[in-house]
Amino acid sequence: MKTRKITKAVFPVAGLGTRFLPATKSIPKEIMTLVDRPLIQYAIDEARAAGIKEFIFVTSRGKSALEDYFDHAPELESALRKSGKDDLLEILKDTNMDSGAIAYVRQNRPMGLGHAVWCARRLIGNEPFAVLLPDDVIAAERPCLQQMVEAHAETGGCMVAAMEVTPARTSSYGILDIGEDGGAIVKVKGMVEKPKPQDAPSNLAVIGRYILTPKVLTNLNRMKQGAGGEIQLTDAIAEETGSKSGVYGLRFRGQRYDCGSKIGFLQATVAFGLSRPEFGAEFASFLQETMAMQKAAQ
């Protein structure tokens, strides 16, 4: 199938991040760090690896730290250069964006993820685009969005990243109603936002990576508030399940961490800390000792 190359990605970062209060009173959630890199850096790296060239952020009040993060820092760079710290200069390179590659649009009120994506409609135009939620961090041998771009080249239409969840967890996710199950790729015939376990059509949940057709933006144009009083992206994608191009789910290969929740953030911190060659072994023995001490104290 001939599909158009995906070169634009939307990063909705206008949410309030209430689960991380008080930290998020002044720090955008996306700037919180896993080891030494902010959440947003993981999402940007993943998008770059998938061939994204234009990065569109949907922001809100209080997110200026996020915008500053992508600016060049001439004083810092020159100080590092003078002191011969080339390794640190190299690390900083990942944080810089080419002029014009990054754009910000504002969501005036947090009216939901669907509304946030709709706010970027003029920058997206009439082409398929990716959406990445930076609070979903995915550790994978091949970056998740890259897996999706490759699968999308076969299927066309809309594609969502999907993973199995336990029945008790369906009410925290958009859940897929599966039409045809092709193993890694499933054809979707419906989607339900946050169903109770007894109402869930499957246990295949949508997580924060999407490839969407511009038709989803048209659907969002006339969208009403759905579950939770927000404009749901899931509802606008679900409308496409009956279309000619269709909706697909990809069972991606990788480990997803929900860094929008405290437990997910802690799990990711431990996993990413353990995987660092420079101190992973030391961190592992610290964790073992701490666990042993906790056990002894009980």
Interface with ligand UTP (CB under 6 A): 12-19, 29, 58, 107, 110-113, 115-116, 133-135, 260
Is the CB of 131 or the CB of 250 nearer to ligand UTP?
131
* Prior bond of 22 cis (ω within 30°): yes
Q: Is the dihedral of CA 40, 43, 48, 53 positive or negative?
A: negative
> Measured from the CB of residue 59, what is the shortest distance to ligand UTP in angstroms?
8
Is the CB of 108 or the CB of 290 nearer to ligand UTP?
108
> Measured from the CB of residue 206, what is the shortest distance to ligand UTP in angstroms?
12
What tokens were used for 109?
Answer: 């009120």
> Measured from the CB of residue 110, what is the shortest distance to ligand UTP in angstroms?
3
What tokens were used for 57?
Answer: 């952020």
> Measured from the CB of residue 261, what is the shortest distance to ligand UTP in angstroms?
8
Is the CB of 93 or the CB of 122 nearer to ligand UTP?
122
Q: Distances in Å between the alpha carbon of 199 and those of 10, 125, 242, 251?
A: 31, 36, 21, 22
Is the CB of 110 or the CB of 254 nearer to ligand UTP?
110
Q: Distances in Å between the alpha carbon of 54 and those of 6, 100, 117, 161, 197?
A: 10, 8, 15, 21, 38
Residue 183's CB is within 10 A of a number of other CB atoms, namely 6
Mutual orientation of helices 39-49 and 144-155 as an angle, nearest 10°?
Answer: 40
> Measured from the CB of residue 109, what is the shortest distance to ligand UTP in angstroms?
7
- Position of minimal CB gap to ligand UTP: 15
Phi and psi at 251, nearest 5°, equal -75, 95
Is the CB of 31 or the CB of 80 nearer to ligand UTP?
31
Is the CB of 56 or the CB of 158 nearer to ligand UTP?
56
Mutual orientation of helices 262-274 and 280-297 as an angle, nearest 10°?
Answer: 130
> Measured from the CB of residue 160, what is the shortest distance to ligand UTP in angstroms?
14
Phi and psi at 151, nearest 5°, equal -65, -40
